[in-house]
Structure 1
């Protein structure tokens, strides 16, 4: 047991910190689309120059340089547009910085794995926790060359980290690379150019509490009228007073519409973003705002009515309901999803599976127990080597998407989510629960057993089961029970005392309430065998 890592305590996951809703801008005229394109292109050019200035400053950036950047952008737009642009540039630089640090950690893990395997003799078998040596001299030589490549990349990345250098592409690196593979992407150059131009536009404005309807730059009234403040060079396009342009179409939010209406009516801050979907030829408006921190319920309260343990897999969620004592109830549950196809299809599949899970939990008034999974350090080719299927399996698990979706959707329904340490849940679940849960009419899988293990860990119970009743030829006479006791129950791991009854006909010696207390019996080797006595010392001479 010395090699097992310490298991972290379960905790109730916090709710989302913000909300975002989207709707389509319907009824736009040709002039509306032209004005939106001109404003977005103009502000996008300013955002590109500002991002370049922010990246050039690196770690030496301070408040004075931020003010200088904002003044430069304000002269070509407005003060509020400049504030949104400079803040977006700073956030993008910080995101690229975090991405560089994750890249460095991945390179370090790869270097350590290759160096370890190169230090072992060829053909040496690995262990459960560490890989063995390489299989052949050819593979050893290839990996030694790769080690040099990774060390060079690591050295360059660490130099960039120390200098504060980041590499950012406005519009996305993937879309930029698509320009060289138009045939594979089934795009023409004109289609790619329109998509590239749409992605590089800047039409987003942060909200401000106390201002009219919570945003002075992009304003949406409670009745759905959308207007935006035009930059100074495009003020001649205004069709409303104070240099504003009012769109012809009206908007309405089907989801969280009442919450949004309450905020804009009370003049509370709401951030907006306008973007174009060139594939569909549509314009969309996204509204977002921060949510006040909500204190999570105590862990004991979340456990009061039991939980539904959920095991995340590549193509389904395996779940099982458990009562407050940790006993599985009913039949195992399975919520499948298909993660092939487009990103929108995958997202819809995940949401559909979570909706069915949440409806089941709300119907039975249960909390949801999930693993606090993070596979960022487990996907490297150096760790798992030739096990491509396993690497593809863990890479295909939508852990971060499921976690974010589950927490936000459960918060709307008032369902607590308990996160547990994922250590050994699959292994111990299969060891202790797969066989007992299998019957003639039900075949429990490893995933079902893992769901039970996750639920028991969330409830604070050990994963292992109580021992089965012993044979009838033993003194306890089937006195044990397999029911689960609470962790706070005194003597829950002890023997069950023998209770006199019709089956005993009489209460003989050693068969009373202290039947399991061996020290209270007159048995050999026990302290209560005889009265306390002391042997006299032997004589030294006859």
Structure 2
């Protein structure tokens, strides 16, 4: 029997540390759109030059170089615009740096897997833990050539990482590559050019605590008036005092609008970003702010009223409600979604499924949802699964990190705690211990439903199996408590189950003498009835 790996302890997932809300800017005049486009294009060119300089500095960048860059940008915009641009540049460079590190790790994982499989004899079968050798000599030769190619790529990527060189495309690499496939994208050159320009505009301003309405650069008042500080070269476009431009539209946030109102009323920092959707021809305003992390509730307190176990799959979420003792309550639930279309559609499907899950969890009266701490980073490589393209596509589009992050953010507003558990053996043990006992002719359950029970029980600290074996001496309770999930001090844990009188329950009516709860009235060894004791005493 193979050794099982150790199971990590469950933990409470910390809540979100920031909030972002978005609304559409309606009622803009032609002059407003012209000013927004002019400011976005000017600041976008300034941000592109600053990013180019930051990438050229590489690992030699320090606080002195940052101050020098900011002084150069202040004359082209303003001090606050310069601060927002340099901060965005640093974040973009750091993101590209982390992406390069992940690329190096992925190449190294592919090299290790290729080297392992090339060392095995041709045709050798693999196991569940590691793949075997290649099927033919021809495939072995092709993979040997791929190993040499990946080795060269890894050396080049590692050299870039050590030297601090990154590759960044302002506007997105996907949109840049679309320029060469306009027929497939069903776009004209002018339509693509409009999207490309809008993606490279810069209209973002960081918030400042203590300033009026939380932001001096892009300001939104409590009555919805939106104004912005114009850069120095565009100061002649101002229509308000102090070089500001006041837009004609009114701003209102439908989602978390009261939180935003309370924050700007207290002059707390709020960051704003104005974006243009060239495909729809619409302008949007995004407000975001950070809040101090709230202390997470203890694991025992979150699980006091039971929990809901959730098994995430490619097309649905399998959920089951468990009580405080680890017993399944009611019937399993399934929340389906479709991940076969574009990213926006997938995100909407996931949000809709999570909304239904949270509403059902609140109806069950629980305060915790248990999910698996999944990470398929090591499973997405084509070198491990090879010909299994369908499986590789499945795990590549599986929303592991996004699902848990969005669930945590949405559950924060409902008072439900998210508990992450180790995903090891949940499906296997669920099918072994829970699938057959819970299935019936009128209720068909899947192995995913059974896995959700194991996930919830693991969060509660129970074992995966339904109950432990009886005591070794006999079938009574003299040696110890038989139940694995109920403690001996739980009131009524050994009492009879409550029955509702009726023709289908085959139990006596309420008027009869109910002695089912009296253990001394049963025909068991060591428990005699009272009339027999009297007869023996005579």
- What secondary structure, in the 3-state scheme, does the structure 2 residue paired with 1:310 have? strand
How many Å separate the matches in 1 of 2:288 and 2:310?
30
Counterpart for residue 394 of structure 1: 395
2:502 is the alignment partner of 1:504: no
Alignment partner of 1:373 is 2:365: no
State how far apart, in whole Å, the 1-side matches of 2:2 and 2:141 are: 36
Matching residue of 1:176? 176
* Contact preservation (8 Å) 1:214, 1:269: yes
Supply the distance in 2 between the matched residues of 1:31 and 1:290 (Cα, whole angstroms): 33
In structure 1, C-alpha distance between the alignment counterparts of 2:171 and 2:422, rounded to whole Å: 38
Structure 2 contact 306–323 (Cα < 8 Å) conserved: yes
Aligned partner of residue 320 in structure 2, secondary structure: strand
Report the counterpart of residue 325 of structure 1 in structure 2: 325
Q: Post-superposition shift, 1:442?
A: 1.4
Q: CA deviation at 1:431?
A: 1.4
Partner SS, residue 286 of structure 1: strand
Is it true that 1:476 corresponds to 2:474 in the alignment? yes
Q: Deviations over 1:174-209 (max 9, x none)?
A: 000000000001111000000000000000000000
Shift of 1:7: 1.3
Pairing 1:449–2:438 present: no
- Aligned residue pairs: how many? 497
Alignment map for 1:46-195 (pairs within 5 Å): 46-195=46-195
Change (3 A) 1:82 1:125: same
- Partner Cα separation in structure 1 for residue 257 and residue 56 of structure 2: 42
- Alpha carbons 1:336, 1:353 under 8 Å: kept: yes
1:56-96 per-residue CA deviation (whole Å, 9 max, x = no partner) reads 11111100000011011111000000000000000000000
- TM-score in terms of structure 2 length: 0.89
Answer yes or no: is 1:316 the counterpart of 2:336: no
Offset at residue 502 of structure 1 (A): 3.9
Specify whether residues 304 and 63 from structure 1 end up closer, same or farther in structure 2 by C-alpha distance, changes over 3 A only.
same
* Residues in 2 aligned to 1:507 and 1:482: alpha-carbon distance in whole angstroms: 19
What does 1:199-214 align with in structure 2 at a 5 Å threshold?
A: 199-214=199-214
Secondary structure of the 2:22 match is strand
Contact 2:467/2:485 (CA < 8 Å) preserved in 1? Answer: no
**What is the CA-CA distance between 1:387 and the residue it aligns to?**
1.3
Aligned to 2:232: 232
Corresponding position of 1:463: 464
Work out whether 1:431 is the aligned partner of 2:432. Answer: yes
Deviations along 1:456-483, whole A, 9 cap, x unmatched? 000010112225779xxx9735769974
Change (3 A) 1:388 1:292: same
Determine the C-alpha separation between the residues in 2 that align with 1:454 and 1:344: 29
**TM-score of the superposition, structure 1-length normalised?**
0.89
Matched, 1:355 2:355: yes
Residues 460 and 486 (structure 1), Cα distance of their counterparts in 2 relative to 1, 3 Å cut: farther
Q: Secondary structure at the match of 1:413?
A: coil
Q: Map Cα deviations across residues 1-50 of structure 1 (whole Å, 9 max, x no partner).
A: 76322211101111101000000111111111011001000000000000
Residues 391-400 or 367-376, more deviating: 391-400
1:275 matches 2:275:
yes
**Partner residue in 2 for 1:293:** 293
Tell me the distance in 1 between the aligned counterparts of 2:150 and 2:9. Answer: 37
* Residues 475 and 237 (structure 1), Cα distance of their counterparts in 2 relative to 1, 3 Å cut: closer
Q: Which runs of 5+ in 2 are unaligned?
A: 491-518, 529-538
CA distance 1:487–1:398, change in 2 (3 Å): farther
Deviations 1:347-389 (A, max 9, x none): 2211111111101111222110001111122111111111112
**Equivalent pair of 2:21/2:286 in contact (CA under 8 Å):** yes
Question: Within 1, Cα distance between the matches of 2:399 and 2:476?
Answer: 47
Query: Whole-Å Cα distance in 1 between the matches of residues 488 and 114 of structure 2?
Result: 47
Cα deviation, residue 137, structure 1:
0.2
Partner Cα distance (1:466, 1:368) in 2 = 23
Partner Cα distance (2:219, 2:60) in 1: 36
What is the deviation of 1:343?
2.6
Distance (Å, rounded) in 2 between the aligned partners of 1:385 and 1:220: 54
Q: Deviations over 1:146-168 (max 9, x none)?
A: 00011111111111111111000
Secondary structure in 1 aligned to 2:435?
coil
CA-CA distance at 1:500 after TM superposition: 7.3
Q: Secondary structure at the match of 1:331?
A: strand
**2:354 corresponds to 1:334:** no
Q: 2:248 — aligned with what?
A: 248
Determine if the alignment matches structure 1 residue 384 to structure 2 residue 404. no
Tell me how far apart the structure 1 counterparts of residues 17 and 488 of structure 2 sit (CA, whole Å): 35
